A = this chain, B = another copy of it.
Amino acid sequence: MSGTNRTKPLITGGPAIILVEPQLGENIGMVARAMANFGLSELRLVKPRDGWPSEKARVVAAKADHVIDGVKVFETLGEAVGDLSYLLATTARQRDMLKPVLAPEAAMKSINTRMNSSEKAGILFGRERWGLENDEIALANEIVTFPVNPAFASLNIAQAVLLISHEWLKVTMDAPLEPAFREPETQPASREDLIHLFEHLESALDEAKYFYPPEMREHLMLNIKNIFTHANLRQQEIQTLRGVIASLERRWMRSRRSQDKKSS
């Protein structure tokens, strides 16, 4: 799915992603890559088990060097989130806490609104094995959780960061959602183009004695017209179809010409 274009501007910014006591460098690398894919760039680590920097993280990050180079490491969660005014905590399990629970899309909208008013925001992700402790979640304003298959929920932190980052880019892009590229610019067919196509096809089918019995003509043409009107054809496609019809007609004319030649 690689479609990187290094001539395009690199999107950066967004909320800080904070990993609490991540264990594997590979996971940190996957998180950096997921962030870079969707335009997030600020990664903070609280007590990474295997220390920092991590060569494994850099390799797995697949050239998301701007994220890896910007990583900040902290001894405590308090220090890691000290400068933030809006903090969300991700968790997969229900906690016995009076804290609003948001789906990722609503959460990213909320962050976007606050960052637009110059607030600083961040999202907490827990340890690979057991997530966040209750007293860590207690530091957050709100909880984010993912809609998952309740009987099969096994998101790892890189996947969770990927989903969050994707929602972030969607929310911050202009509404409605813009895909990364669009179909080629083309001219839609005018009704006139369509009518000419129908006339061409009807005359070819007439010659071919398609309309049988004759009283079925109207019904048969209606069916054919409906196929092409709901096809949302482009001008260029109408030309292609007319070429196809002309070609099938020419075969018949060639055949007739050779027949005329022989009879003469």
Cβ–Cβ contact A39 & B177, under 8 A: no
CA gap between A143 and B3 in the complex, in Å: 15
Interface size class of A (residues with CB under 8 A): 35 or more
A139 within 8 A of B: no
A110 within 8 A of B: no
CA gap between A260 and B244 in the complex, in Å: 26
A156 within 8 A of B: yes
- For A166, what are the chain B residues with a Cβ–Cβ distance below 8 Å? 146-147, 163, 166
- For A82, what are the chain B residues with a Cβ–Cβ distance below 8 Å? none
- For A208, what are the chain B residues with a Cβ–Cβ distance below 8 Å? 247-248, 250-251
- For A93, what are the chain B residues with a Cβ–Cβ distance below 8 Å? 3, 181
- Please name 8 further chain A to chain B contacts, defined as beta carbons within 8 Å, in addition to the given A37-B148, A252-B255, sorted by A numbering: A63-B152, A63-B154, A101-B179, A101-B181, A103-B177, A144-B179, A201-B244, A223-B240
- 5 A-B pairs closest in CB distance: A3-B92, A231-B231, A8-B150, A208-B251, A259-B259
- Supply 8 A–B pairs (Cβ within 8 Å), ascending by A: A1-B159, A2-B92, A3-B148, A4-B154, A11-B150, A105-B177, A163-B166, A228-B231
